[in-house]
Amino acid sequence: MTPEQRYLFDINGYLHLPNVLRESQLTASRSAIERYIATPDNQLPEGFSRSENKKNYENGFAFDKVLESLVVHPVLWPIIKEFTHERPAFSRGTLLVDTHQHGPSHLHCAREAYGWQSTRYDTREGRIYCDDFAIFVYFDDVFPGDGGLLVVPGSHKAMFDRPPSLFNNGAITDRADLPTGVVNVTLKAGDAVVMTEMLAHGTLQWKPKDRLRRILVLRYRPQFKGQPSFVTEAIRDRLSPETQELMAHAHYTHVKEIVKKEVVQLS
């Protein structure tokens, strides 16, 4: 993680990473996503499914090797290792497909939902520690006015509860009415955003009728936190040994083999 990235993440609680994917990776990722979306429910391989509203595609990361490789992408890997102080675990990777038919989501964060004890953000030894974070990888351009991700920069360090009177109690429906303090993050295809789950965030309704917002939501935490990640045997069998190791729950003292690598290639 560079000093610039560390500084920006620390003050904002999120970090926009431009141009993470090469053109060839973006093209291959899009075609894998299109295959997942186009496959009828009864023909999906075991372990894959879409939600009733067709927004969430379960285990999207495991659908194709090109998507699985994003879990340990070389731009993201140093950040994943830093945030977990070299004790990383990958817990879940869902494909989200936003259309104009899907509504907005209210501002929320893990601490507000589960209590201040649930999540931790800290800085020690000149680096960041973060025990619940997500990386959103974008496969489509988002332009101002389209909708998409909302954040309250700096809210990961809030020492007070967010007053219900603020930000219309978290219900923000239009970019034109964006309250001071809330930012609509617009990313380009191939960009990614890293965000602590302590940051208040939500989404605006997706406005374009002729374009989608397709993102892979990758979730990480330290290897000793919470319940072991669960994927069915059918999904686990598709994964490379490196991803399987990254998903494993482990003791505080255990050093995963994968952590010793500067760059991870899936075998």
Show contacts with ligand AKG in window 226-265 (CB under 6 A).
none
Closer of 193 and 264 to ligand AKG (Cβ) = 193
Kindly give the residue spans of alpha helices, DSSP state H, lying in the chain. 3-12, 23-38, 65-68, 77-83, 110-114, 233-238, 241-247
* Cα distance between residue 238 and residue 76, in whole Å: 22
Told to check if 212 binds ligand AKG by CB under 6 A, we report no
Closer of 21 and 258 to ligand AKG (Cβ) = 21
DSSP β-bridge partners for residue 215: 96, 138
Residue 30 CA to its chain's centroid (Å)? 17
Told to check if 66 binds ligand AKG by CB under 6 A, we report no
The count of residues in the chain is: 267
The distance of closest approach from Cβ of residue 102 to ligand AKG in the complex, given in angstroms and rounded to an integer, is 9
Told to check if 201 binds ligand AKG by CB under 6 A, we report yes
Report which secondary-structure segment, H or E, holds 105.
strand 105-108
Q: What phi and psi, each to the nearest 5 degrees, are found at residue 148? A: 95, -155
In the set 136, 138, 167, 220, which binds ligand AKG (CB under 6 A)? 136
Select from 3, 26, 76, 38 the least CA-distant residue to 190: 26
| Maximum pairwise Cα distance, the chain | 52
Closer of 120 and 256 to ligand AKG (Cβ) = 120
Cα-only R_g, the chain: 18
Told to check if 96 binds ligand AKG by CB under 6 A, we report yes
Closer of 9 and 259 to ligand AKG (Cβ) = 9
Told to check if 138 binds ligand AKG by CB under 6 A, we report no
Closer of 186 and 259 to ligand AKG (Cβ) = 186
Closer of 106 and 236 to ligand AKG (Cβ) = 106
CB 137 within 8 A of CB 216: yes
Told to check if 16 binds ligand AKG by CB under 6 A, we report no
Told to check if 149 binds ligand AKG by CB under 6 A, we report yes
Map residues 103-122 to x or -, x wherever contact with ligand AKG holds by CB under 6 A.
--x-----------------
Binding site for ligand AKG (CB under 6 A): 96, 105, 136, 148-149, 201, 203, 217
